[in-house]
Chains A and B, each alone.
Chain A
């Protein structure tokens, strides 16, 4: 470990860390919105759900490096555009999240549904105040998996020039220089674990009732 590297490259390391965060979290936000929409749609039209599920599972099997490389040709972006990575990771994240959103929305039991109905809930209010809160634990579980996976996958983008911390790893590899490689690797792990912690905290804050359920 060469500590000199850290001090003389702090600006570079910081900018790659920020880039890494941006490249991995943006897709999560996009995917959350998309998968909520797709999930709602699938719950409302159960017949399309198997097709949706099959499609999203298929996307998930396409290797990330291939998607990063071919995406500019498919969506007509610049070859160095961060959009390539963002779109690719959004696709993966949607694949991971849709299933959890649908399972979560279906979690509401018939009894609860009936009670809600008799209390005058319906439409969007039932979704917002009954179904979504019940779906929360599953959606959050999916969010955690997708976020950690994204942070790990961004590095592969270094092969096409947009890789956040992956670029530090590639630099270390190229120069047979362990320090940048380790710095990139460790920061990526720390970023993933921190993001995970933030989501868990957010979940605790958003689902205060979960505690009570556990005691019961």
Chain B
């Protein structure tokens, strides 16, 4: 043993470190935990990882700043599966959400589809500590789309029309799409659709758009405000049996951070926001490659909210 005393010391340190690490380990990966949090009077605004949500988060943050509330931004976090736990563990305090998908996140069996019903059910379903403010009339619904040539070839207008050709078509969607009622499950149970194949893509992201455009899939789900639908002449299919539930935009927040000022400010934003306007803002970011921050500031100015 070349370094006897040293070796013993190192051994002790390592053992102690290992024990400490093991002691702190194990546990529930789904549970929140304590950790660094922003000061009490600061609201950390988060966003999912797609343009519309980032713009909305910018709008929230800038409107709050204007109203004298201190904010921090943690944008571009990822999917709901990442940012809801982040909200619950206090890493963020506020995030723009969609009533329908948020409801399904907390209650995957929910059957309601209409805007007001969904909002009401959502308020029931939210766990302790989380709260949604007023919903906006602006909506960004899930929509099933096909290429124009597919629509023409098979004469497709509604989801129900797919029944005639479902065994010839490849469907694509996010991993969670496969499991959701607003996804494959609902398409099968409500419309009786059994597609030839399912390909895993992302949630209305670049993979999905590329895959549909290139013909890797024939049917997929996008979001109604997405400019890529118009840009690529994709045809949205109507949903006569309402598997796609209302998706009004709504601020989701940690209850203890919602002061009257915060509530008023965000409710004013929600009241002013419309689906058309939102689609236009998304287009400016996605197609014209403008900066979400500037686009949000423009809208606040136009809406006279700043």
Task: State whether A41 touches B36 (Cβ < 8 A).
Answer: no
Interface size class of A (residues with CB under 8 A): 35 or more
- The CB with the most chain A CB atoms within 10 A, among B5, B51, B76, B92, is that of B76
Alpha-carbon gap, A177 to B76, bound state (A): 16
B6: chain A residues at CB < 8 Å are 40, 44, 123-124, 127
Contact A70–B206 (Cβ < 8 Å): no
* Contact pick for B82, options A70, A161, A174, A179, CB 8 Å: A161
In the complex the two chains form, is A78's CB within 8 Å of B33's CB?
yes
B24 is an interface residue with CB less than 8 A from chain A: yes
Give the dominant DSSP class at A's interface: helix
**Bound Cα distance from A177 to B228, whole angstroms:** 13
What 0/1 readout, one digit per residue, does chain B (1-29) give for beta carbons within 8 Å of chain A?
11111110011011000000100111111
Q: Are A174 and B90 in contact, CB atoms less than 8 angstroms apart?
A: no
Partner of A76 from B24, B76, B291 at Cβ < 8 Å = B24
Q: B161 in the interface, Cβ–Cβ < 8 Å?
A: no
A174 to chain B, nearest CB (A): 6
**Which of A165-173, A187-195, A197-205, A208-216 forms part of the interface with chain B?**
A165-173
- Please, what's the 1-or-0 string for B45-68, where 1 marks a CB less than 8 Å from any CB in chain A? 000011100000000000000000
A43 near B: Cβ within 8 Å? yes
Nearest A residue (CB) for B291: A8
Q: Are B291 and A73 in contact (CB under 8 A)?
A: no
Q: How distant is the Cα of A147 from the Cα of B86 in the complex, in angstroms?
A: 29
Kindly provide the distance from the CB of B76 to the nearest chain A CB, expressed in whole angstroms: 6
CB closest chain-A residue, reference B84: A79
Asked if B285 CB lies within 8 Å of chain A CBs, one says yes
> Are B13 and A37 in contact, CB atoms less than 8 angstroms apart?
yes
- How many Å from the CB of A136 to the closest CB on chain B? 17
Chain A interfacial positions (CB closer than 8 Å to B): 2, 5, 8-9, 37-38, 40-41, 43-45, 70, 72-81, 113, 123-124, 126-127, 131, 159-161, 167, 170-171, 173-177, 179
Q: Which 3 A-B pairs have the closest CB atoms?
A: A73-B29, A44-B7, A78-B35
